[in-house]
């Protein structure tokens, strides 16, 4: 049996997404910038894709820009907006548990002379709204907070944060990295008070290499990629029509079954958390039920290094991740996010993340738990002295 429980790293495409992508590659293969009929057909597909995404967010399709994925979206939102608004101020705010695709551009901006405040999180992985309010200065121009943390599944108080930021200074831009939230829960930037929002297709059963950045029409932002002037000159480069079509199809499917899927995830989560709690010496980091993301469970297995447990599970067909897959090939194997939760060292180096997708079944969860129950006593017997 196989249990793929690493859906927050990436997901398998659905067949309908595959078909949409193949159609765009084989039939609608024109370049939307071409003047002939084939170009026009491709442009139409692209516009439909943009409209589909806009509907899921309840925004205007003019506010959707396709990118190569969330890393580009985050880079563009932060660097492009900071550059366009630097006369208004040089201060930026983010959290200590962001994805590297936010943290690294922030570090780059620091090198360019911006000041950055990193908000701490509590043991559940959430920021404090009071901290946020206190961090805002007269020259703060941008706040960036992730919606759902990719490693522990903590949900940040985005709506409240949006309110407090606006109350303090409505000109401050609010960016949200929604990679782990989009397609998993309703995300409405206008009511949340969010000015820019990043998302990616491959986390929601779409293809890799495509994502989008929502940019509210009021936002002043510079483009990062210059060239042929595609997407109103804001993001040059031949339009990735197959990607855009695949992303739209994936988003449409995710939001069509949102409620059903959420209940499915919550049931899987309950099953997994109860099962883990029944195993000896397991520490669960994620919040139960709807207090955290429904599709992510993070837990530590003291006495076993996470890498060893990961490979032992893999030998039996269970795929999980240690920390997050994105940060797994760094020199320092311990997750920076988990460190921010101030876990004991033995928990830090023994933490695994289990994450669900649409195809995850209760049988897979049971198989995973059963395999853990077999492995843990054996692995705990052989340790360093």
Regarding 310 and contact with another protein (CB under 8 A), the answer is yes
Regarding 382 and contact with another protein (CB under 8 A), the answer is yes
Smallest distance, another protein to C-beta of residue 316, A: 10
| CB-nearer residue toward another protein: 37 or 332 | 332
Regarding 290 and contact with another protein (CB under 8 A), the answer is no
Smallest distance, another protein to C-beta of residue 312, A: 4
Regarding 307 and contact with another protein (CB under 8 A), the answer is yes
Collect contacts of 306-313 with beta carbons under 8 A, ≥24 apart.
306/349, 306/350, 306/351, 306/352, 307/333, 308/379, 309/350, 309/352, 309/375, 309/376, 309/379, 310/352, 312/375, 312/379, 313/368, 313/371, 313/372, 313/375
Burial of 314 (0-12, 13-18, 19+ CB in 10 A): exposed
Smallest distance, another protein to C-beta of residue 108, A: 24
| CB-nearer residue toward another protein: 185 or 352 | 352
Q: What is the DSSP string of 218-280?
A: T-----S--SS-TGGGTS-S---HHHHHHHHHHHHHHHHTHHHHHHHHHHHHHHHHHHHHHST
Paired tokens of 73: 């979206």
| CB-nearer residue toward another protein: 158 or 376 | 376
| CB-nearer residue toward another protein: 274 or 314 | 314
Regarding 376 and contact with another protein (CB under 8 A), the answer is no
Backbone angles phi, psi at 134, to 5 degrees: -65, -30
| Window 332-371: residues binding another protein (CB under 8 A) | 332-333
Number of residues that bind another protein (CB under 8 A): 15
Q: Which of these segments, 101-109, 160-168, 184-192, 303-311, binds another protein (CB under 8 A)?
A: 303-311
CB atoms within 10 A of CB 374: 12
Q: Which of these segments, 53-61, 226-234, 255-263, 327-335, binds another protein (CB under 8 A)?
A: 327-335
Helix (H) and strand (E) counts in the chain: 14, 12
User: DSSP H helical segments within 153-225, as ranges?
Assistant: 158-168, 189-192
Smallest distance, another protein to C-beta of residue 326, A: 15
What is d(CA 192, CA 214) in angstroms, rounded to the nearest whole number? Answer: 13
> How remote is the C-alpha of 302 from its chain's centroid?
27
Smallest distance, another protein to C-beta of residue 385, A: 5
| CB-nearer residue toward another protein: 220 or 305 | 305
Regarding 176 and contact with another protein (CB under 8 A), the answer is no
Q: Which of 57, 81, 204, 312 binds another protein (CB under 8 A)?
A: 312
Paired tokens of 163: 């309110």
Q: Which of 308, 325, 326, 336 binds another protein (CB under 8 A)?
A: 308
What is d(CA 138, CA 150) in angstroms, rounded to the nearest whole number? Answer: 31
Kindly give the pairing relationship between strand 3-4 and strand 115-119: unpaired
| CB-nearer residue toward another protein: 131 or 307 | 307
The residues annotated as belonging to the active site are: 326
Regarding 311 and contact with another protein (CB under 8 A), the answer is yes
Burial of 272 (0-12, 13-18, 19+ CB in 10 A): buried
Smallest distance, another protein to C-beta of residue 3, A: 16
Q: Which of 314, 345, 363, 374 binds another protein (CB under 8 A)?
A: 314
Q: Which of these segments, 18-26, 209-217, 222-230, 309-317, binds another protein (CB under 8 A)?
A: 309-317
Regarding 2 and contact with another protein (CB under 8 A), the answer is no
Smallest distance, another protein to C-beta of residue 333, A: 6
Regarding 232 and contact with another protein (CB under 8 A), the answer is no
State the residues that interact with another protein by CB under 8 A.
307-312, 314-315, 331-333, 382-385
């Amino acid at each position: 049996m196989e249990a793929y429980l690493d859906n927050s790293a990436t997901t398998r495409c659905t067949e309908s997404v595959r078909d949409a992508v193949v159609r765009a590659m084989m039939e609608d293969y024109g370049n939307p910038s071409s003047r002939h009929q084939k170009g026009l057909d491709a442009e139409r597909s692209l516009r439909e894709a943009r409209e589909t995404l806009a509907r899921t967010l309840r925004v205007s399709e003019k506010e959707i820009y396709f990118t190569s994925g969330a890393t580009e979206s985050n880079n563009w939102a932060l660097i492009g907006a900071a550059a366009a608004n630097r006369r208004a101020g040089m201060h930026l705010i983010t959290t200590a548990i962001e994805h590297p695709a936010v943290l690294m551009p922030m570090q780059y901006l620091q090198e360019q002379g911006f000041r950055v405040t990193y908000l701490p999180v509590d043991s559940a992985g959430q920021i404090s709204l009071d901290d946020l309010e206190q961090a805002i200065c007269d020259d703060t121009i941008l706040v960036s907070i992730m919606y759902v943390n990719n490693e522990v599944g903590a949900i940040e108080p985005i709506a409240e944060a949006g309110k407090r930021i606006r109350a303090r200074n409505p000109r401050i831009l609010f960016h949200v990295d929604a990679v782990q939230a989009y397609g998993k829960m309703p995300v409405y930037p206008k009511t949340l008070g969010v000015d820019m929002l990043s998302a990616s297709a491959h986390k929601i059963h779409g293809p890799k290499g495509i994502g989008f950045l929502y940019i509210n029409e009021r936002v002043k932002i510079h483009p990062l990629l210059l060239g042929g002037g595609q997407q109103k000159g804001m993001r040059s480069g031949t339009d990735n029509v197959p990607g855009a079509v695949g992303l739209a199809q994936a988003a449409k499917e995710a939001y069509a079954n949102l409620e059903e899927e959420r209940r499915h995830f919550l049931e899987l989560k309950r099953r997994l958390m109860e099962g883990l709690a029944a195993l000896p010496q397991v520490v669960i980091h994620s919040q139960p039920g709807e207090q955290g993301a429904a599709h992510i469970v993070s837990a530590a297995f003291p006495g076993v290094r996470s890498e060893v447990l990961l490979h032992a599970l893999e030998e039996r067909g269970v795929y999980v991740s240690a920390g997050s897959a994105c940060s797994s090939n760094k020199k320092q194997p311990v997750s920076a996010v988990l460190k921010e939760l101030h876990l004991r060292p033995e928990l830090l180096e023994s933490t695994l993340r289990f994450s669900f997708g649409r195809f995850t079944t209760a049988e897979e969860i049971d198989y995973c738990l059963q395999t853990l129950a077999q492995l843990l006593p054996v692995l705990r017997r052989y340790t360093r002295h």
